[in-house]
Amino acid sequence: MARPAHQLGRRLRVALVAPPYFDVPPRAYGGIEAVVADLADALVAHGHEVTLIGAGEPGTSARFEQVWERSVPELLGKPLPEMIHALRTRRAIETLAATDGLDVVHDHTLAGPLNASAYRGLGLPVVLTTHGPVHEEMYDYYRTLGSDVHLVAISDRQRSLAPDLNWLGRVHNALRTDEWPFHPEKQDYALFLGRFTAAKGPDLALHAAHRAGIPLVLAGKCTEPAEKAYFRETVQPLLTDADLLFGQADARAKRRLLSRARCLVFPVQWEEPFGMVMIESMVCGTPVVALRGGAVSEVVVDGVTGFVCDDAADLADAIKEASRLDPYACRRHVEANFGVDQLAVGYEQVYRQAMAAMATPGSDRPTLGMSA
């Protein structure tokens, strides 16, 4: 029988702060929310006391503090909801700290870390996972937060782009492998699964699939004005009768599409911080055909679980060759490196390091290695 708290010491009391825009776990779009849900359940399974603060109804095994009656996807990208969420969250955490007690606050929102000074006054360290890029404005924001907030990268590449920030470690995103189907037999289509933006490269996926002579299924988010404009101006003119525009896939449809595809086409045009869809694809036994960028080469084993291309012109040949890769190797790679147990252990280490730094006088920025 496993010892409490994963044999790593006393039970931790953790407040997980989720964004208010999508359910936790999400029904369709919501990569951050999926990770938060998996982390909450994994930490509870390891014996910790976890309170999830968010919107809507409870969806994990953690205690749930509702600060919005429902999730508010229509408010995504607007500044005021971020501030309201941060204020409501602070009140909830102050109450939890005064009644049940807390050890650490783990924030996954944009404005939430602005409460860090108040939490420090309660003796609570703040850990922030940097789910997005760390360049330009976000770099300035994270740097301004300073030593009040311990940053956790989701890839080594993300951390390397801003080495002077207050990093505490790196913990790769993960998923519950047993909840994803595995199908070694594939159908003859390639899949694009992502937002309809230039950064995700659906136009490149279409060009590559057409050159390879393989139908492309496009499933993704296209709800914001910029996404709709990009689709109308750039993607729609490229569609042929062989292509299938699926729309936004919910959790069940995503699993079905990924598990049956010849390959996932992931032609990113930006510094992808991690790329959850890559591990979602590989756990289904479906290799990833990607352009080198961001964390791609950190997640995909070139020639084993997919192909990492340096030029968009190489994507078509990679799509043709994807069927010779071993689906079982794709699945094993995710099970060994991106399962929720690794996620929980990594954050347990981060939490204890943050708590130790808080308890050490004058220790604003501990020198610590990356988490597993």
Quickly list DSSP for 96-160. HHHHT--SEEEE-SSSGGGGHHHHHHTT--EEEE--S--SHHHHHHHHHHGGGEEEEESSHHHHH
Check residue 294 and report its DSSP letter. Answer: T
Task: Say what the pLDDT of residue 3 is.
Answer: 45
| Cβ contact 340:41 at 8 Å | yes
pLDDT at 347 over 70: yes
Query: How many helices (H) does the chain have, and how many strands (E)?
Result: 13, 13
In terms of Cβ atoms closer than 10 Å to its own Cβ (0-12, 13-18, 19+), residue 240 is exposed
Average pLDDT, the chain: 93
| 136 contacts: CB under 8 Å, gap ≥ 6 | none
What pLDDT digit, counting tens, does each position of 43-52 carry? 999 999 999 9
**Quick one: pLDDT band at residue 31, thresholds 50, 70, 90?**
confident
Strands (E), 302-359: 306-309
pLDDT at 4 over 90: no
Task: Say what the pLDDT of residue 174 is.
Answer: 97
Strands (E), the chain: 13-17, 49-55, 63-68, 104-107, 126-129, 149-153, 167-170, 190-193, 216-219, 244-247, 263-266, 288-291, 306-309
Which range among 16-30, 271-285, 308-322, 323-337 shows the weakest confidence by mean pLDDT? Answer: 16-30
Tokens of 36: 């938060």
Specify the DSSP element, H or E, that contains 230.
Answer: helix 225-230
Check residue 92 and report its DSSP letter. Answer: H
Task: Say what the pLDDT of residue 223 is.
Answer: 86
Q: Provide the 10 A C-beta neighbour count for residue 222.
A: 20
Helix (H, G, I), strand (E, B) or coil at 208: helix
- For residues 120 and 122, what is the distance between their CA atoms, to the nearest angstrom? 5
The hierarchical CATH code for the domain 13-174+339-359 is: 3.40.50.2000
Pairing mode, strands 13-17 and 49-55: parallel
Instruction: Delimit the domains of the chain by residue range.
Output: 13-174+339-359, 177-334
* Predicted structure pTM score: 0.89
What pLDDT digit, counting tens, does each position of 120-174 carry? 999 999 999 999 999 889 999 999 999 999 999 999 999 999 999 999 999 999 9
Residues paired with 216 in a beta bridge: 190
Task: Say what the pLDDT of residue 362 is.
Answer: 58
177-334 folds as Rossmann fold (3.40.50)
Share of the chain above pLDDT 90, in %: 87
Query: Fold identical between 13-174+339-359 and 177-334?
Result: yes
